[in-house]
Structure 1
Amino acid sequence: MRIAVLDDYPGVFPETAAFARLGGHDVTVFRDTERDPDRLAARLRDAEAVLLTQQRSRFPRAVIEKLPKLRFIAQTGAHTSHIDVEACAERGIVIVTAGKGTPSATAELTWALILASVRHIPFEVRALKEGAWQSTVGTGLRGKTLGIYGLGRIGTAVADVGRAFGMKVTALGRQNAGDRESFFASADVLSLHLPLNDATRGIVTAADLAWMKPTSLLVNTSRAPLIEPGALVAALEKGRPGFAAVDVYEDEPVLGGEHPLLRLPNALCTPHLGYAEMGTYEAYYDAAVDALLRAVSAE
């Protein structure tokens, strides 16, 4: 069977145990993302199965209808909002998903961003290499307020570390609206951990950000569209919040440095590294390949 693996940015799939389980199949791994539907369809014209790495590629009807040989779509993770499920059903294409990942990888990255931001680590590392010595003063976290918007598995893990650092933890959720103004205004570090859906899209507004302190840090390792379009860039330019650390963007991948956040000195930006560690990739790909092989054997 011809299998195409999409959007493996670091080229890690051939190094996983899951790849070895596909011996005897013709496997092609694509490391880049093809956004144009016609070119994506051309790339996959001979594929009988596609393994999608997270939600990095959209699979609309315009692509699906141009893939007459496609029989299976295997998805790492449980989300299918980027796939036209109805179009797949009409053509008899089987979609298999591989459950949820663990919260630890994204929680760890969240804290890496927080600590790097409040202690100015990227700036000081770069300055030291350029011949300078200590020139900034960081901010300690003990006694400060950590706001968690979305106290699910990842948010809880982030909160636990905050408590270990001696921070006061406050939380806001979709079911527990609480005092919204106080939540944003009191946070020294505010971290977003909500799923993206119709109810949460744009849930953080320009008004919410305007309540934040000039010294506060907003962290987003969840999804960029949780924040009202354009609101974060405008807020950082106005100085409320004073800083941001983000790992996610409205349209990924961001190439050529083309994103307004990358031009702001008070924004620390990483290229969606939240779950990008070997253990998570191994687990995601293993579950997806297992689901794919079970679907093939069930035919």
Structure 2
Amino acid sequence: MRIVIPDDYQDCVRHLDAFAKLEGHEVTVYHDTVTDLDTLADRFRDAEALVLIRERTPITAVLLERLPSLRAISQTGGGAAHVDLAACRRQGVTMMAGTGSPYAAAELSWGLVLAAMRHIPEEAANLKAGRWQRTLGTGLKGRTLGIFGYGKIGQLMARYGQAFEMNVLVWGRESTRKRAAEAGLEVAGSQAELFERSDVLSLHLRLNEGTQGIVTAEDLARMKPTALLVNTARAPLIAPSALEAALRAGRPGMAAADVFDEEPVIGHPLLERPNFLGTPHLGYVEKDSYELYFGDAFDNLLAFDAGEGVKNLAD
């Protein structure tokens, strides 16, 4: 089978233990990101299968029409919003998705909390430049951790907050609030209350039509000038340009994010803000996660090639 793997930024896929599963197949790996339709069509022209790394490459109907050899797409992780499933169905392309793990993303989220509240990146840079103790950090004990979305990652964040003796406050849809209450956590009376009371507020929602732009400029304006907003979920959860404006206004006082509207990021207004800490979408970029994600994606592809029954999201 001729397999193409795009967007391997770090050139790490070939070095995973899971890559051995593809022995005997013709595999081409690309390390840059391409958005031009003609270039994508040329790269994928002879591919019988694509292995996609999360949502890095949108698979549109127009692109699929130019890929007559394509028989299958195997997605790392479970999301498929970037793939036109109706077009896959029309073209007879089987679309498979795998599973993931919440741990790496939750760990990075908590790392951003600590790094931002204690100014760790700034002080590490100060030390290397010969400057000693230039900031005053903020501790977590006794402060309120707001969690917007109580899924697998949100649940881990709640446990981390409790381990640091924080007061955990949860908000989300009705089922979210019910799970949080059953776990003995405090549930906010409203979305507004969540933003008003949180000293650290972490977003852990899935992006869909109902959640796009769910965090408004008004929500951000309710936050304390000492508060931190953390977003390791998806950038469009926040209304366009609202976070930049909020940071200029000083409510919240700080923000940390691992996700951006368009990735990879070359330049972005947020990166110019002194009260913003950013990382390049590292939430799932960790060896154990990659072994799990790619191992699952490769297994699905091999099962398809062997004619075994696979779950086709395009059906």
TM-score by length of 1: 0.97
Which is further off, 176-185 or 226-235?
A: 176-185
Give the 5 Å matches for 1:141-156: 141-156=140-155
Is residue 277 of structure 2 the alignment partner of residue 278 of structure 1? no
The structure 1 segments of at least 4 consecutive aligned residues displaced by more than 3 Å after TM superposition are none
Q: How many residues align?
A: 296
1:5 shift after superposition? 0.6
AA aligned to 1:165 is F
Is residue 182 of structure 2 the alignment partner of residue 173 of structure 1? no
Q: Deviations over 1:120-153 (max 9, x none)?
A: 1111111111111111111011000000000111
Match of 2:204 among 193, 201, 211: 193
AA aligned to 2:43 is R
Equivalent in the alignment of 1:218: 229
AA aligned to 1:280 is S
Distance in 2 (alpha carbons) for counterparts of 1:55 and 1:77: 9
Equivalent in the alignment of 1:268: 277
1:17 shift after superposition? 2.3
Give the 5 Å matches for 1:199-214: 199-214=210-225
AA aligned to 1:68 is P
Give the 5 Å matches for 1:2-13: 2-13=2-13
AA aligned to 1:48 is E
Distance in 1 (alpha carbons) for counterparts of 2:101 and 2:71: 29
- Whether the 8 Å contact between 1:96 and 1:295 is mirrored in structure 2 is no
Distance in 2 (alpha carbons) for counterparts of 1:145 and 1:36: 45
% identical equivalent positions? 54
Give the 5 Å matches for 1:50-61: 50-61=50-61
The CA RMSD measured in Å over matched residues stands at: 1.1
Q: Deviations over 1:176-206 (max 9, x none)?
A: 4732222111100000000000010000000
- Whether the 8 Å contact between 1:150 and 1:194 is mirrored in structure 2 is yes
Distance in 2 (alpha carbons) for counterparts of 1:167 and 1:94: 46
Match of 1:236 among 233, 240, 247: 247
Equivalent in the alignment of 2:87: 87
Equivalent in the alignment of 1:298: 307
Distance in 1 (alpha carbons) for counterparts of 2:18 and 2:114: 34
Distance in 1 (alpha carbons) for counterparts of 2:165 and 2:52: 41
Distance in 2 (alpha carbons) for counterparts of 1:188 and 1:264: 20
